[in-house]
Copies of this chain bind each other. A is one copy, B any other.
Amino acid sequence: MMNFYAEILTIGDEILFGQTLDTNSHFICDRLTEIGVRVLRKTTVGDTEADILSAIKDANDRADIIIITGGLGPTNDDLTKPCLAKYFDCPIEINEKALQEVSAYFERRGREFTELNRRQAELPTACEMLSNPVGTAPGMWFEKEGKVLASLPGVPHEMKYLIENEVLDRIKDRFELPIIYHKIIRTCGIGESYLADKIRDWEDALPGHFKLAYLPTLGEVKLRLTATGTSLKKLKLEGNLLMTELSQIAGKYIYGYDDESLESVVGELLVKKDLTIATAESCTGGHLAHSFTSVPGSSRYFRGSVIAYHNDIKKEQLDVPAEILEKHGAVSEETVTLMAENVRQKLGADIGVATSGIAGPEGGTKEKPVGLVWIAYSDKNGTEAKKILFLKDRMFNIQYGSKAVLTNLFRKLTKKD
C-alpha cells in the first residue's frame, strides 16, 4: 500500500494582511487526514500571479494532490483561473454547463445576471467543472501526469460543500488510499496530565498501528485514536475492544464520542430521564443558558433562567434573603445554594443549577479573588455547592464556569444510584 501526499494552497491578500483567519485549510486538513491522505504542507500566498504560479509548481513537485482555495471571484484581482490556465497551458472559455448552473443560481434568487456574473462560468478548458449549487463560483478539477489539482472557492460553506460532495470522492476513486480508523473520545472533569497518567498502561499497550493524540480544549480533553490497516472491519473490531478497555479505566470521564458536545449529551440524558432544568446565573451572565439553548431541541428540557447580575435580582427574583447577601456576600456557598434551589422551584424545573463568582478583571479581594466561582446543583433530594478557582481572564472564567456546571451535571446524571 502506498502513501499519498497532499498540499493545500490558500490564496488571498486578506489572509496575509491578517484581516481574514484562514479556517478553510484547517477543515481540508481534517477531512484529508480522515480519508488517509497525509497533508505535507500548506501555503498561503497573496493575489500575485508569480507567487501563485511558483506555489503551484513547488507543491506539484512534492505532492500527489493539490487543493487550492480562494481567488475565484469575478473581479480582476482574482487570479486563480488565469494562473491555472497558464499552468495547464490552456485557454479560458465559457463552460456551457457552468453557465447554465450559474444563471440558474441567480434566477432562483431573483437576482439580475450581469456580465460580471457571466464571467464566473469562464473556466480553463483543461478542467472538469465541479458543480457548486450553494454559490456562484464553480469548482475545478484537473488531472495531469498522475497528479490531481482541485480549485475551490474561498467562501467557507461553498468550499465545504465541494470538498464533501465532489473532492473527497474523486480522491478516493483516483488513489488507492490506506484504510483509516478514527475515533474521538471526549472527556470532561479531568486535566490532560492526570488523564495521561490514568491511561498510561493502556496507551503503552496500544498495538503499533494505533496512534493516540491528546487535544485539550476549554475544560475538556479529547483523545483522537487513529489506526491504519487493510480492513476497516478488522480495525473497528480492534478499536471497539480498545474502547471497552478504556471505558473500564476512565469511563467516568468519558461523556461522548466524535461530534457529540457536552451540552448535547447532558440534554439527551435529561430527555431520557424525563427531567427539566433551569439555571440561575450571576458570573456566567447568560453563557450557561446559552450553552443549553445552543442545542437544537433543547426546549424539550430547558425551562428558562434567571440571570441575577445585580443583587436586587437575587433578592427579588430568586428570594435570596438580604441578610444572607450581607453576611456571606453574593459569591458564597449560601447564596449559590439558594439560587439553585429557588430557581428550580420558581421555574418549575426538576433540576436547578447556579453560578456565582468573580469573573474579573475587577472586583477581586484577598478572600475572594478574581476567578473564584461557586456552582450549585439542586434537585428534589437536596442541593450541593462546589467552590472552584479559575484564572484571571474574564472570558475564560465565564466559559469555564459554564463548563464546570455542565461537567458536574453530567456526573450527577450518570451516577449509579
Q: What is the bound-complex CA distance between A362 and B300, given in angstroms?
A: 12
Closest residue to A45 on the B side, CB-wise? B41
CB within 8 Å for A304 and B310 given contacts A17-B39, A33-B18, A290-B286: yes
Q: Are B293 and A348 in contact (CB under 8 A)?
A: no
Is B296 a contact partner of A317 (Cβ separation < 8 A)?
no
Asked if B41 and A296 make an inter-chain contact with CB atoms under 8 angstroms apart, the answer reads no
Q: How far is the CA of A45 from the CA of B40 in the complex (A)?
A: 7
Name the one of B16, B312, B348 contacting A29, with C-beta atoms under 8 angstroms. B16
Is A2's CB within 8 Å of the partner chain B? no
B303-A305 in contact (CB<8A) = no
Task: Check B313–A309 contact: CB distance below 8 A.
Answer: no
**Is there an interface contact between B286 and A293, defined as CB atoms closer than 8 Å?**
yes
Report if A288 contacts B (CB, 8 A): yes
Query: Which of A19-27, A83-91, A124-132, A227-235 contacts the other chain?
Result: A19-27
Say yes or no for A289: interface residue by CB 8 A criterion: yes
Picked from B305, B310, B348, the residue with its CB within 8 Å of the CB of A286 is: B305
Which residues of A276-308 have CB atoms within 8 Å of chain B's CB atoms? Answer: 276, 279, 281, 284-294, 296-299, 302-308
Interface status of A199 (Cβ within 8 A of chain B): no
Judge whether A196 is part of the interface by a CB distance below 8 angstroms.
no
Q: Which residues of B contact A361 (CB under 8 A)?
A: 296
Report yes or no: A317 in contact with B285, Cβ–Cβ below 8 A. no
Asked whether, in the complex, the Cβ of A43 is within 8 Å of the Cβ of B42, the reply is yes
Indicate whether A269 reaches chain B with its CB closer than 8 angstroms: no
Question: Which chain B residue shows the least CB distance to A42?
Answer: B44
Cβ of A14 under 8 Å from chain B: yes
Q: Interface code A212-233, partner B: CB below 8 Å = 1, 0 otherwise?
A: 0101000000001000000000
Residue of B nearest to A313 (CB): B304
Docked CA distance A304–B30 (Å): 41
Smallest Cβ distance from A82 to chain B, in angstroms?
19
- Flag whether A372 is at the interface (Cβ < 8 A): no
Given A40-B46, A44-B41, A290-B285, decide whether A309 and B299 contact each other with a Cβ distance below 8 A. yes
Q: A279-B286, A306-B317 are in contact. List 7 more A-B contacts (CB 8 A).
A: A19-B215, A41-B55, A285-B302, A286-B286, A286-B290, A290-B398, A303-B312
Task: List 21 A-B residue pairs with CB atoms under 8 Å apart, sorted by A's residue number.
Answer: A14-B213, A15-B26, A16-B40, A16-B41, A18-B27, A18-B33, A19-B213, A25-B44, A40-B51, A281-B286, A281-B289, A285-B289, A285-B292, A286-B291, A286-B305, A293-B309, A294-B394, A304-B309, A305-B307, A312-B347, A317-B347
